[in-house]
Amino acid sequence: MTTLLRLTISLGLAAVTVCTQNLIADPNPTAQTGSFKGPLGLQLYSLRESFNKDVPGTLDRTKSLGFGKVELAGTYGQTPAQFHTLLEARGLTAIAGHFPYDRFKNDPEGVAAEAKTLGMQYAGCPWIPHNGDFDEKTCREAAAVFNHAGEVLARHGIQFYYHSHGYEFQPYADGTLFDLLMHETDPRHVSFEMDVMWVVFPSQDPVKLLTKYGARWKLMHLKDLRKGVAGNLSGGTDPNNDVVLGTGQTDWPAVLKAAQAVGVKWYFIEDESQAVLEQMPRHISYLKQVTW
């Protein structure tokens, strides 16, 4: 690599850092020109490939992008205590984190202990294991697991949540299995995180779901689906179908307005694409300017 090319890349990364710091952390309230007020954090799974190579360096990058609040999806070879120390050294706070379904089923006390060590307010499940189509039996079993785990976590001052993933919208009775999951879980102990892309992908309406279930929604993943991509009930698509907020299929002004109205507590950008570093400042720029 030539010296000139190295200098060009270095200057480009510096510009991205300054831009995103201003967009998230600018102390001047007049810099926020849009209607979205957050609070905003980053789902660290977005940077999973970087974490697998360099944990401290990736946390430095998270901070340089302007984020102070994060949602976890593992600790990348670190113990919870070690990862918390790394976060704390950079002024990063873990608001929430994902844990495997089997941990909630078999060891909710252990999940609660790890969540407390990491300083979390929320601990959530991102996926319900199932073979073939998600079905009623699996849904009811999951509801029972969530209710128990939610009770255990509540005793430790931690709120349990389930992260929607799209496969739950199988037809059931007059609605879907997602409706059944909502009905069978205890509102006192089980909350939900709407991943907007995983609502749009199976052709559901995030605004209607927000309005229908109101305060059950405590967290939200801000993620947009590439235009022209046809969805289904699989709960899976090419990660590179994650595109810059406002350029995909989602009506973000309507979604964010509804989320604000029902009292969503935390918003996390999640971008699983290979273009995450290029797209991140554009996500933030969109949220800074979006109006309704």
CA distance 270 to 247: 15
Bridge partners (DSSP) of residue 175 are 172
Rounded CA gap, 121 and 164, in Å? 19
Categorize the per-residue pLDDT at 27 as very low, low, confident or very high, splitting at 50, 70 and 90: very low
What's the confidence (pLDDT) of residue 33? 83
Tell me if 202 sits within 8 A of 168, measured CB to CB: no
Phi first, then psi: give them for residue 25, nearest 5 degrees. -110, 10
Identify the pLDDT of residue 19.
Answer: 41
Element holding 161 (H helix, E strand): strand 159-163
Name the average pLDDT for the chain: 92
Per-residue exposure over 28-56, b if at least 16 CB sit within 10 Å of its own CB, e if not: eeeebeeebeeebbbbbbbbeebbeeebe
Q: DSSP letter string over 190-241?
A: EEEEEETHHHHTTT--HHHHHHHHGGGEEEEEE-EE-TT----SSS---GGG
pTM of the entire predicted model: 0.90
Pick the CATH number of 3-25+33-289 from 3.40.50.1980, 3.40.50.300, 3.20.20.150, 3.40.1010.20: 3.20.20.150
Question: What confidence category does residue 222 fall into, taking pLDDT thresholds of 50, 70 and 90?
Answer: very high
**pLDDT at residue 6, rounded to an integer:** 42
Write out pLDDT tens, residues 161-201.
Answer: 999 999 999 999 999 999 999 999 999 999 999 999 999 99
Across residues 123-133, what is the average pLDDT? 98
The percent of residues above 90 in pLDDT, for the chain, comes to 89
pLDDT at residue 101 greater than cutoff 80: yes
pLDDT (average), residues 252-266: 98
3-state secondary structure of 125: strand
Q: Which residues on adjacent β-strands are paired with residue 242?
A: 225
Neighbours of 171 (CB within 10 A): 9
The pairing of beta strand 93-98 with beta strand 224-225 = unpaired
Angle ∠(84,87,93) on CA atoms, nearest 5: 95
Section 107-136 average pLDDT: 98
Does residue 11 surpass a pLDDT of 80? Answer: no
Counting every residue written for the chain, the total comes to: 292
As a whole number of angstroms, the distance between CA 267 and CA 210 comes to: 14
Domain ranges of the chain: 3-25+33-289
The stretch 223-237 carries a mean pLDDT of 98
Q: Are 233 and 267 within 8 A, CB to CB?
A: no
Band (pLDDT 50/70/90 cuts) for residue 32 is low
pLDDT class of 28 with cuts at 50, 70, 90: very low
Sign of the dihedral defined by the CA atoms of residues 200, 202, 203, 207, in that order: negative
Average pLDDT estimate for 105-132: 98
Distance, in Å, from the CA atom of 148 to the CA atom of 50, rounded to the nearest integer, reads: 35
